[in-house]
Structure 1
């Protein structure tokens, strides 16, 4: 019941309209590029590890593929994702550390292209760096994970950014997680888009920190919530009503999955 109530209350914290972005459906393809620093030749994980983290090869092991398959209820898949590497970059750990994120990603992409692989234009980019204390984050349609970010939660969080999904927020305007973050940012504990500040589960020994699912408004945003199970309060002219809610994780059960409470009487989608 607590999970249902929190999913309901968070409606007040996110935009209350159906997904305005293109629904996240079909084949979601990434080129996962494994890059090593010139002065750090170690290969902490083999290619199979990343194939199992990102592609259907790891079905059942609770990586990115399983997250997308379960949360989208089969509407999307990572089936076209490929993993390439390892590639040795002509850059040291320090050179990469000092570079902006976009350049840090491009250092790996340039290296891979020089080695003979050009990511298809329809692919997003995922860069895996073989050492930690560098950076894990997204830039446009690309993201990178250093060696400290190789877990389900971070993989899901950053991959979703490349699909246009933003951070989670709470209504606590006094909270700032980081100097550069907005008030309430990273503070929705029931949404993986708050990453380090969510209710984690340990999905597996291999992928460590597990990724909690999306809340109801987030599922609606990416087009993964059946619209016939979303109730917009006041749409039928009634000012009071009783609603039976179903857990968003158990869509096989009867009931409404999300209640949208408009704040603009002229536009019930706001």
Structure 2
């Protein structure tokens, strides 16, 4: 097991652009090899670099991304090109901006860049390391961990964080940045394995990275509260080599004002690309918006003691309680107890009416204020002499409210009782924000996932999805048997 620490001199600071969500199929990389006018002979031939980056079965980059994506992406049609010589010295290139250095290598190659592909510049010797929207710039001596991290940025992933308020990886980093040691996107500070052929190899992606790229099956993510539950004990299985039928991720919404703000629970075993872990883990992340870079990030919840800073195994905050049990290694499962009131919470803009303390019908704040005023005025609106309906008979012009049952004898205006009935009829539509929480690949209003298969997060109209379902059901009847 190794910890990788990237020095400021090597990496520098870069704001990583995001090119979208969901990656699938052929992801073509044009790898362009460039040296400077005063460079010595490169250490690696184009064939050696192709073996490291593009060839399957070598334990290199192509194998890493194939495995992490569950086989959903491949490097078909990718190529290694060069070495090309830039007509400037290493020192002259180092004085230029990152964009200029990138463009200089492309110009030296005279290649046509594919608009739908991604480009990786590899220089000899290495002078920088960064990744952004569909672009990577690295040196020939950078290992799998560092290059895979920058490729993650090229696929649209941002850095992962922890919630430790005292952790700062380097002076230009944000608090908590690079502090998920079990995730590729913290690869200034990660648990790695060692390969004889290529050196350091990275761990896999955490659950948020995988769900953002569309590499978790739709039916293996459990969103707590969507079924109306307020407490449950669930069985979670591992991200890699999962046991049948159980969720791979558990998503727990708790913020009615932001459907992308939630907890995410995953389990990872010490195996495969995660072999550098010191043991098996259950991780709890908080997914939230970062106002500094205006991106959503995963924040690993850790204990904040200076000695261990272990990932937490339980949570009790934001009206959510999470308790994880002991890991069953043989079954590849763990029991997770969750309690939350999210299914009983109101959508943004609504509040509990509280005609009585247990009245959780969601109404506008104005209606709740009116309800409170009606409760306060209840005695003054009853007929002091009683009447046909007993001691709760209302004065002339008032009627029983009947908000939560026919026993609600608070006297209100007829228009108020009509409003109460309307609010009761709309109650189900105004409550339970978890119904709208679908993670980073959520479709815009009016669209739904197509679901041609379990990994199909393409957003289409409901009519198109129904047509897809109909076509799938009719598939056998349309075949011609030879």
Question: Common fold, TM-score beyond 0.5?
Answer: yes
Give 1:253 deviation, angstroms.
4.3
- Find 1:146's aligned residue among 139, 143, 146: 139
Give 1:188 deviation, angstroms.
0.7
Give 1:210 deviation, angstroms.
0.3
Q: 2:50 maps to which residue? A: 51
Higher strand share: 2
- Find 2:229's aligned residue among 217, 221, 238: 238
Give 1:249 deviation, angstroms.
1.3
Taking the aligned partners of 1:21 and 1:142, their CA distance within structure 2 comes to 14
Give 1:21 deviation, angstroms.
3.8
- Find 1:165's aligned residue among 152, 157, 163: 157
Q: 2:130 maps to which residue? A: 137
Q: 1:199 maps to which residue? A: 191
Q: 1:112 maps to which residue? A: 109
Q: 2:468 maps to which residue? A: none
Aligned partner of residue 220 in structure 1, secondary structure: helix
Unaligned runs of 5+ in 2: 1-18, 257-346, 348-432, 440-482
Residue by residue over 1:116-158, the C-alpha shift from the partner in whole angstroms, topping out at 9 and shown as x without a partner, is x2222222110111113x2111243211112342x21112111
Unaligned runs of 5+ in 1: 1-19
Give 1:252 deviation, angstroms.
4.9
Aligned partner of residue 231 in structure 1, secondary structure: strand
Q: 1:16 maps to which residue? A: none
- Find 1:128's aligned residue among 122, 130, 134: 122
Aligned partner of residue 212 in structure 1, secondary structure: coil
Give 1:242 deviation, angstroms.
1.0
- Find 1:188's aligned residue among 177, 180, 189: 180
1:249 is aligned to 2:240: yes
Q: 1:64 maps to which residue? A: 61
Taking the aligned partners of 1:51 and 1:89, their CA distance within structure 2 comes to 21
1:86 is aligned to 2:83: yes
Give 1:80 deviation, angstroms.
2.1
- Find 1:260's aligned residue among 242, 245, 251: 251
Q: 1:23 maps to which residue? A: 22
Q: Is the 8 A contact 2:21 2:156 kept in 1?
A: no
Q: Is the 8 A contact 1:230 1:256 kept in 2?
A: yes
When the two chains are superposed, the root-mean-square deviation of aligned CA atoms in Å is: 1.7
- CA pair 183-162 structure 1, distance change in 2 beyond 3 A: same
Taking the aligned partners of 1:236 and 1:121, their CA distance within structure 2 comes to 43
Q: Is the 8 A contact 1:33 1:83 kept in 2?
A: yes
- Find 2:201's aligned residue among 207, 210, 214: 210
Aligned partner of residue 110 in structure 1, secondary structure: helix
Residue by residue over 1:75-123, the C-alpha shift from the partner in whole angstroms, topping out at 9 and shown as x without a partner, is 111112110011111011111212111111111111111xxx2222222
Taking the aligned partners of 1:21 and 1:96, their CA distance within structure 2 comes to 31
Report how many aligned residue pairs link the two structures.
243
Written as runs of structure 1 = structure 2, the 5 A alignment for 1:212-231 is 212-231=203-222
Q: Is the 8 A contact 1:217 1:258 kept in 2?
A: no
Give 1:60 deviation, angstroms.
2.0
Aligned partner of residue 137 in structure 2, secondary structure: strand
Q: Which has the higher contact order (CA 8 A, sep 6+)?
A: 1
